[in-house]
Amino acid sequence: MDTMTPAERSERMRRVRGKDTKPELLVRRLVHGMGYRYRLHGRLPGRPDMVFSRKRKVIFIHGCFWHRHGRCPLTRWPKSRLEFWKPKLSANARRDRRNLRTLLALGWDVLVIWECELGDLTGLRKRVSRFLG
């Protein structure tokens, strides 16, 4: 049972952003601080969050809930309206896998950074550094 009225739920969902999310901004600051320059939301399959054209590398910053991050605790199912949410969220994950395969086939290297990984910035910095080399 939803604890919010339909109007309150609508307002809450309206505030969910597709671009310029807090995790995205955090990773952008980290990567920029490392000296790398990038383009935002390139016109490639899946609209990657960060595109490094010369290196043919892209970074996606995924929210664990929205993109279904395996067994992550943030990947819980909503408690209400599962008939709506299950197909929607499952389709997000399928679309992500399809976009990943397409990018790899086009010769792009892909790094996916999950929301739950942002707690360890030192490890994330190392991972991004290895990826961008």
When pLDDT is averaged across residues 19-26 and rounded to a whole number, the result is 89
Contact (CB, 8 A) for 48 and 58: yes
From its phi and psi, is residue 35 left (phi > 0), alpha (psi between -120 and 50) or beta?
Answer: left
What are the phi and psi torsion angles at 123 (to 5°)? Answer: -65, -40
Per-residue pLDDT tens digits for 61-73: 999 998 999 889 8
Mean pLDDT for the chain overall: 91
Residue 89 has a pLDDT of 93
Q: Cα dihedral sign for 114, 47, 104, 121?
A: negative
Asked whether residue 4 is assigned to any structural domain, the reply reads no
Which residue range(s) make up the domain with 111? Answer: 17-132
Asked whether residue 67 is assigned to any structural domain, the reply reads yes
Residue 73 has a pLDDT of 87
CATH number at residue 63: 3.40.960.10
Q: Of the candidates 88, 98, 91, 92, which has an alpha carbon nearest to the alpha carbon of residue 44?
A: 98
What are the phi and psi torsion angles at 58 (to 5°)? Answer: -135, 155
Residue of 37 and 16 predicted with greater confidence: 37
Per-residue pLDDT tens digits for 89-129: 999 999 999 999 999 999 999 999 999 999 999 999 999 99
Asked whether residue 8 is assigned to any structural domain, the reply reads no
Task: State the residue for tokens 């819980």.
Answer: 76
